[in-house]
Amino acid sequence: MNNFDFKNPTKIIFGKDSIQKLEAEIPNKAKVLLVYGGGSIKKNGIYEQVKSALSKVEVIEFGGIPANPEYAVLLDALQVIKEENITYLLAVGGGSVIDGTKFLSAAALFKGDTPWDILSKNIRTEVGMPFGTVLTLPATGSEMNSGAVITRKETKQKLGMGGPGLFPKFSILDPQVIASIPKRQLANGLTDAFMHVLEQYMTYPMGALLQDRFAESILQTLIEVAPRIIKNPKDYVAASNFMWSCTMALNGLIQKGVPTDWAIHGIGHELTALFGIDHARTLAIIAPSHYRFNFEAKKDKLAQYAERVWNIQEGSIDEKAKAAIIKTEGFLHELEIDTKLSDYTQDFEGTAEEIAKRFTDRGWLGLGEHKNLTPDKVETIVKMSY
Amino acid sequence: MNNFDFKNPTKIIFGKDSIQKLEAEIPNKAKVLLVYGGGSIKKNGIYEQVKSALSKVEVIEFGGIPANPEYAVLLDALQVIKEENITYLLAVGGGSVIDGTKFLSAAALFKGDTPWDILSKNIRTEVGMPFGTVLTLPATGSEMNSGAVITRKETKQKLGMGGPGLFPKFSILDPQVIASIPKRQLANGLTDAFMHVLEQYMTYPMGALLQDRFAESILQTLIEVAPRIIKNPKDYVAASNFMWSCTMALNGLIQKGVPTDWAIHGIGHELTALFGIDHARTLAIIAPSHYRFNFEAKKDKLAQYAERVWNIQEGSIDEKAKAAIIKTEGFLHELEIDTKLSDYTQDFEGTAEEIAKRFTDRGWLGLGEHKNLTPDKVETIVKMSY
């Protein structure tokens, strides 16, 4: 097990009808910017629940944060924060709204020349404007971590940011919100959380026995609840375990003391930037090729995953490992998540070369847990995913 | 899954040679009370490492906190805190030293008449004097939670206390400290952590799928590392997983959203108070009888534990559940932990009646996850454990 530090101060308020507890979490004298997305919260009743719980504080609204939160839109919100002397942010939405709110939290108190520096120069945020979240779409885990990914359309970039100042003060997780989420988004959320776990688990065995079992626990739970959620998103047992699994998949716990990969995300982000493919689906496109290309380096862990998560007990290490990749593809296909780039676009020629060139230009010369996935290897992985 | 709140702000600093990181965690201007136990830290090198890391702050020492931290001794430490104008506490030890330090953290800022009220009136501590810990004995999980148990010899009482102000600011976990722990204490630590998980898990199935799997993960890891630790406490992989498992067993995570039992602890504390039996061993004495007495209420979960933790796949629910109790006893016996009261004392006659009477006098009329273990049932369980 590697040495690690772990601290996660976010307060989770989990369960039925928990949105009404919002009132107790926001200081009375706060001036709140309520940040949300495309307006689905006005159709499913969440907006009314939030407004009702906020009746005692002053609230300004900023809707319209798009999926893959867009820098230009966030700059508009930042202007509102400054003009209105906002003191507290409340994200009501999924990962995109929460990530956008984290950018606003950082940018609102940023002392540098331009908030773009936070992203382009990768400046850690030690103290941000305080914010809470009401999660409406389980998937990214952003509700209990301190990271965010922001998109800039004009340059087709997706860049990460973070820092200890960007943990939400609180996050409200009411699994009942899942009932009104469209199937496509539920499938994306299940895939996203599953891939988050794999990025932190599918490397090589290194004696972090408890972390491995926790990661396997989340994978097993997602596999168990996925068909139930897709069939009936009002199934509270399935919904609550789905929601808590998504949070635990990326709140820092399972990555402590272990090597992590994240190459799938690195490559996947480019597919979103180039083609606008849903984030989760880009991961599903890249993961199988990635595991096949890096088979020798990952086969021991793939075999462990085969045994413990998929109950594949027969065969050699190689056979189990290969079977596990096929099982993973099968799981995604059951969710109606396609796993080839050509399922999403016919305009894929040249994509591998383009992504490799971007990584070279950016100086990303070694991805993955061994930092040895050079741009030419990335090119091969992307071609295998066509 | 039940509704829950979860917040755990303790910073964990985990790994080899992490004691030297102490310096960065304590404010420069702090006046520190270094709290420790019987002096083993002066033999195993931990004392020197701590003192070296604290060279830049003013430190007063208070040693001699006994196992089952004693109220009278803690009052002496409290006097030192007041006389010396201490501003920060550092516990260097196991659960007893850390629990004692939590009492001091609460008592140092307590405004009431007597600090005994914190225990006797069960007053929650919202803000305590800040403190950190250097863990020298993995077992209780006190290094990452906000609870403590304090003993008062003159009245033969063990009472709990807690509150959000009693999370350590930081805890340093260096698994290398395990190398010098005597076997008896290692066995106690393994047993204690195992029983902590069981108290939060062995109730009835209620759809908290992820929490169940996390609990099972800790149990599986402890079972896997226990023989390695006992054979060679310098085995770093085993030691690090043992240490992290003990912390995760009682940091609040696995109890969220599920019913919990804690009757074994309630009864076990009385055996320590009456006979001075090591805390972990009292749990080993009570658990098997408790599970046999409450078999019908717990058999579904016992069978799940049988299947997932002990890989018992054959037989009916009842057969699996019974086999799991026997497996648990076998695990404890492998650790040389006896599971009958008569293994520890021949003076056991009347113990069951005495404990039942204490519970009646104290108004503890219903223990366990169903709050239906009345004193007469407790009496039967204790008799079954003779």
Closest CA to A255 of A145, A127, A366: A145
Residues A1, B240: C-beta atoms closer than 8 Å = yes
pLDDT computed for residue B362 by the predictor: 86
Residues A15, B6: C-beta atoms closer than 8 Å = no
Q: Does B209 touch chain A (CB under 8 A)?
A: yes
Tell me whether domains B11-176 and B182-384 share a fold.
no
DSSP-derived letter for residue B5 is E
Q: Does A240 touch chain B (CB under 8 A)?
A: yes
Residue A214: list chain B partners with CB under 8 A. 214, 217
- Find the CB nearest A15 among B4, B217, B225: B4
pLDDT computed for residue A189 by the predictor: 97
- Give the bridge partners for A131, in sequence order: A89
Whether the per-residue pLDDT at A39 is higher than 90: the answer is no
B111 burial (CB, 10 Å; 0-12 / 13-18 / 19+) is exposed
Q: Does A245 touch chain B (CB under 8 A)?
A: yes
Cβ atoms of A4 and A32 closer than 8 Å: no
Average pLDDT, chain A: 96
What percentage of chain A has pLDDT greater than the value 70?
100
pLDDT computed for residue A105 by the predictor: 98
What does the angle CA A308 – CA A311 – CA A314 come to, to the nearest 5 degrees? Answer: 110
Residues B13, A1: C-beta atoms closer than 8 Å = no
Q: Name the superfamily (CATH) of residues A182-384.
A: Dehydroquinate synthase-like - alpha domain (1.20.1090.10)
User: How does pLDDT run across A245-286, given as a tens digit for each residue?
Assistant: 999 999 999 999 999 999 999 999 899 989 999 999 999 999
pLDDT band at A155 (very low <50, low <70, confident <90, very high): confident
Q: Does B204 touch chain A (CB under 8 A)?
A: no
Cα of A9 to nearest chain B Cα, Å: 4
Q: Does B221 touch chain A (CB under 8 A)?
A: yes
Kindly identify which residue of chain B lies nearest to residue A7, measuring between CA atoms.
B11
Kindly identify which residue of chain A lies nearest to residue B240, measuring between CA atoms.
A1
Residues B217, A213: C-beta atoms closer than 8 Å = yes
Residue B4: list chain A partners with CB under 8 A. 12, 14-15
> Can you give the residue ranges of every domain in chain B?
11-176, 182-384
Residues A7, B4: C-beta atoms closer than 8 Å = no
Residue A246: list chain B partners with CB under 8 A. none
Q: Does B127 touch chain A (CB under 8 A)?
A: no
Q: pLDDT means per 10 residues in chain B (386 residues)?
A: 98 97 95 95 94 95 93 97 98 97 98 94 96 97 96 85 97 97 96 98 97 98 98 98 98 98 95 92 98 98 98 98 98 98 97 96 92 97 98
Residue A248: list chain B partners with CB under 8 A. 210
Cα of B228 to nearest chain A Cα, Å: 13
Residues A1, B220: C-beta atoms closer than 8 Å = no
Buried b (16+ CB within 10 A) or exposed e, A90-119: bbbbbbbbbbbbbbbbbbbebeeeebeebb
CATH for A11-176, among 3.40.605.10, 3.90.700.10, 3.30.420.40, 3.40.50.1970? 3.40.50.1970
What gap in Å lies between CA B44 and CA B51, rounded to an integer? Answer: 13
Closest CA to B216 of B313, B310, B288: B310
Buried b (16+ CB within 10 A) or exposed e, B237-269: ebbbbbbbbbbbbbbbbbbbbbbebbbbbbbbb
Kindly identify which residue of chain A lies nearest to residue B225, measuring between CA atoms.
A209
Cα of A172 to nearest chain B Cα, Å: 9
Question: Is the ipTM beyond the 0.95 threshold?
Answer: yes
- Give the bridge partners for B150, in sequence order: B159
Cα of B14 to nearest chain A Cα, Å: 5
pLDDT computed for residue B381 by the predictor: 98
User: How does pLDDT run across A285-301, given as a tens digit for each residue?
Assistant: 999 999 999 999 999 99
Write a three-state SS string for chain A. CCCEEEEEEEEEEECCCHHHHHHHHCCCCCEEEEEECCCHHHCCCHHHHHHHHCCCCEEEEECCCCCCCEHHHHHHHHHHHHHCCCCEEEEEECHHHHHHHHHHHHHHCCCCCCCHHHHHCCCCCCCCCCEEEEECCCCCCHHHCCEEEEEEHHHCEEEEEECHHHCCCEEEECHHHHHHCCHHHHHHHHHHHHHHHHHHHCCCCCCCHHHHHHHHHHHHHHHHHHHHHHHCCCCHHHHHHHHHHHHHHCCCCCCCCCCCCCHHHHHHHHHHHHHCCCHHHHHHHHHHHHHHHCHHHHHHHHHHHHHHHHCCCCCCHHHHHHHHHHHHHHHHHHCCCCCCHHHCCCCCCCHHHHHHHHHHHHCCCCECCCCCECHHHHHHHHHHCC
User: How does pLDDT run across A180-235, given as a tens digit for each residue?
Assistant: 999 999 999 999 999 999 999 999 999 999 999 999 999 999 999 999 999 999 99
Cα of B332 to nearest chain A Cα, Å: 20
B89 burial (CB, 10 Å; 0-12 / 13-18 / 19+) is buried
CA B364 from chain center: how many Å? Answer: 21
Cα of B331 to nearest chain A Cα, Å: 19
Counting one residue from chain A and one from chain B, the pairs whose CB atoms sit within 8 A come to: 120
